[in-house]
Structure 1
């Protein structure tokens, strides 16, 4: 077992004691010859790090032992490990020692972090010539002498941080293409040209990282922040939350600079008014183990963004149109809001007009010129009003918006005016508020004929989402199936975007599983919901021409009608399937449900929906959210699965409501079907038609008619489960629309 282990991660577990090595018949960690990563950071480990742990036959690439209580000397046998890429031994209690002479011999080294490790003496100039070296952090030691960087330094170097040491001199050369931090050294107490460049104040970010801000501190007004260009401004701020980054060392500044650069390039390509971006305070959320990075986006031309700029930036981040570097993985964006909107151009024109009037008055021709100005102003205002009316017309100017595509092709969908929907929802009153998400709110409305409708109202000013809005109108206006939510009409009036659906009274499958609706979903009802949702999805894949890929199947997008029958909803991210059997598109969807193959290749197929539906099936049978505090439902079921045992060893994983009311065979086949749907490769997943057939077979095991309604009303189930504890929680993170 030890010889086959490739990654040992024991970090952040409060483990005490010493690192064991082989002793007689007792095996130790020195047997891990094929292990590539040792992650022991943030524990209570003590004693010396055994020299026998390292040897030339190892394939070790990452050694992270930061934030422990190791003592003694740093073993020089580490110099034998030529595969080492990342070495972090920070914040331990090692003996004071000279800078290790073997470190410059690690030819594969990219990241060296040895903060507060008792190092003294000078840093060898040859260290910076390692051709793959990117980041060196040696702050808070007793390093002295002169810091010298050879002219043949690594062309990948991005940061040298030797703050708070005893370095007395530094050989300066113009045009270093990387950041050097020397604050807190005797060198910085000397005056000289260029000294301030390397001795600036840097902001600590937790215990592991440094702010990416690199301009001199300047005085700004209250609530303003200095940008990278040293300009005071009101930035747009929020948090980027990454669920599963592929790196663990928060101190590698180069990683965040890559993210910064890709963000800035993305904003430039979309012609958004952004001068610069800055990332701060990367931390690991203690509850969910997510990486959280604080983002500041600075305006390009004024001290603050106008409404259009804020809407554009917020849209591309909240809808995950921006794709981060692959090492960061999936993310969500949480905005802090923006209170500092710049004045519009019309405001400045008013000031200009006022100045003209005053000048004309001084000239003596007050009445005539004033009348002329008023006439011109009235004419312009009228033209602006006409232009505004044309812009909000639902079809006349749709093509003028380059982000919205062509005029939507509609079949039977009705156009509603803003005034009509306002009246039918009692001015969008709170009593008619029945739900909300990242797109805005959903209101209950009553048409003049008494029909109930659900009105999905986008956030005001969110016109940037015209493409998704148009997509949902087009799709829903042409599809008609009892297991797909019906579209009554839409509103594209007064800069509002609203979709009017048939009213579905019993909320979402997610709410039903959580107990929020007060309706008990037993096994029979869950099977009926599963077959309904599967048929709705099969209809989109097989019976619509061209086929439709939903792209955001999840329990929150499966609605339950008055009879608790399932209806697939929310087509804002949906796409028509291309002739090649796939679409190449930007990755969108919801974390926990997203097809990993789609995420890696950007190629969307109908099998992407199958994967998401498989996750929904696992929700149905376990009653748990897909992702909760580092737990992933797919992995949890796969790890527990043992087909040689009763109920496949899933007793603790299954929802008690399901376990107590189901035939074991039907449960087992249901889980097997769900796991087939979530196979890593799309080619190994069944088609939706096959999924439908298999659920029908499972229903027949339970002696249920797959083609008949299980119950005529939801009233049978109301109240039976109120007050019960549900394994389903509300901790799901969303990757697109909530």
Structure 2
């Protein structure tokens, strides 16, 4: 020690002589941070100045001397630890960004005050906690402040009204409470104010905000606003973007909004606005986007709304609007997107609808529009999506639509359209979804359909189509669903159908099709539904049907099929199976020879010998047998009653004996409740019967308990080990119980399973939580009922469970890491809503990570770094959740012999690289959702990145999942394309705030 001290002193002395004072401050800041990726490895004390270090920028000194540090930009480098306060001692630092890291302390006022020149401060997307620093307004030059995506709590300090130069203030997605602060109206220089998605107490939109004369962007989405929009807001002459979505505002839209002459975008969607839409919107000379959807607006659409000269997008869907579309729409010149679906609008569309404006997207579904579809609706040739379903349109499909080459999605279902479909309309090259069902259309399916090379869904059921199915349909290599039921189609099925490798659903029931069933169908590897009932098919059932791997729905009833039932059909996992009312004969395969399938074979007399209940009942029994039969019945009934009574008596004695043996003396149980209960522990104990077991695992059993008030709960029983067993195992059981009680007892979230109470008695411990009728995601997804989970349900499950985990990681203090995220620990309610469950391994996380003495988790879900470091943090949960996402998209187990030595993550990556994404998507899913599935798959792969730093936070995962369905969250934000504003929204980097680009 004595020999090294002089050397250390000399080294420090040399460093201090080689590096200037600013470099030493930067090194002090680095020492206070955890840098797992060595992002700051080039911060070398041997450099005379730090101007070439990562993230450091310098400018010439005002005195002409050595360059001075003016900016430190270190976003997304995986840095963690407290805020590096030495940076604020840099005398000329004007720009500081530490966004998208893992800074995890509070932000003391004293740590920021030394920043004398700071004008730009970005600490967004970190893990900072505690109150907002009251000293921030003391920074004299601060003009940009972004603290979004942290865990700041409490009220916005009153001192925030005193910023002298602040232009941008963003506090999005924190835990700020109290009323929306009216005193922010004192910030006369403010141009951007974004307080969205904070749990403020219910409060009105402050009228004083109208005093922010320089304001250009005002975003208050999800701020718990109530009451009416104050008319004074109309005085914000420079406002270009107003977002008041996801609040509880009521009353009409004030006419004063027409005074926002500079407005580019007004968003009022997803509130509770009522009353008529006011006149005066034509005064908004720069208005390009208007969205008042998902409210309670009534009355007609104002005539002058289409006189706003630059209007491009109009969204008024899901309201109570009535009357026709005003004829003034013909005076529009820029309208490209109009969405009026789910209202009570009526009348014909204006005759020149679409003639004068570049219409790209129209959705006016679920109204009462009538008359003919305007012939010029695609006059500009730019129409891509035409959605008119569930109206009263009549007449024929206009011939010019056959020349609308840009169309991709057409839905005209449930109208009164008639006549033949234009020949060219069948073969539009870019259409992937064509739905004409529920009309009175006639004629045949044109051979021109071979030109629709992109067609995935062809839905033409419930019409009057006739003639044969053309051979050319075999050219539709992307066809997934072909539904033409309830028509008048004739002739055989074309052999070319067998070549459709993407075919998943084929429904042709109730036609007059004939000939034999198709053969050569080895390509139908994705077929899950085949319905050819109510036709005139003859011949035998092809054994090839039994080789289709995902076929779950097979209906060949009411045809003229002959021969036997192929034994290969036993290979199928069928939810629907019907071969009734044919001419089948011979033996029924053993798997089907039970009463479970009796209705599948009715009306086939040749099968009588195989299943006697299919035979006609014998007649002609004489009356003298009746008395004897009744005597036998009476003896049987009496014997049954005696037997049942004896069994009940024996069962009760056995249960009492068993409870006594287990020590379940009701008077010695201790109950701890976390909610108001409508039952007692005695009712729970009475339900702990083996007949009520619904699940069993390593920690114990789960019982379904039906209580006297009709309520159903789930009871998890955790038994401690006996004295002869390992003491460590005993302690582990106790720890699991304590972890689950401690965690669930204090959590209140819609996507976390609710713990009602817990009960203790010696070494027996009970947890009583809400009952989830659909069980666990893993059990349902990987069973023969997996077909019940279509893509919209799977997407909802992913989003629900992500929001539950996001709450644990970001909204709990301290944060909670689940440590055993898997599909079996995601439970589904009656509506397939998902809730995260089983917190037996959960741990709270303080500073940094926490090391564990052994690996916890489930095979296939454990993050790579966890296996060798045993360090616990939220990134391991994110990896496990990524595996769950891959399960939802692929339908595969996390580990499977099919993968060889790989797990699901490696199998997906390898298969996508070698064969493409189509080979990893669950074939039971509807291919029309392919774009969404690919986006969710990419999120899952991002979550399972090998490096923990590359995995997004759960808050970011939730946002990315919401972006998958832009119509639900983000499709209404502007984006510049070719110099024009269009309603495309994206997120820049990891920012929670959208950008107008």
Which of the five TM-score ranges fits, normalised by the shorter chain? 0.3 to 0.5
Q: Which structure would you say has the larger Rg?
A: 2
Q: TM-score, normalised by structure 1?
A: 0.37
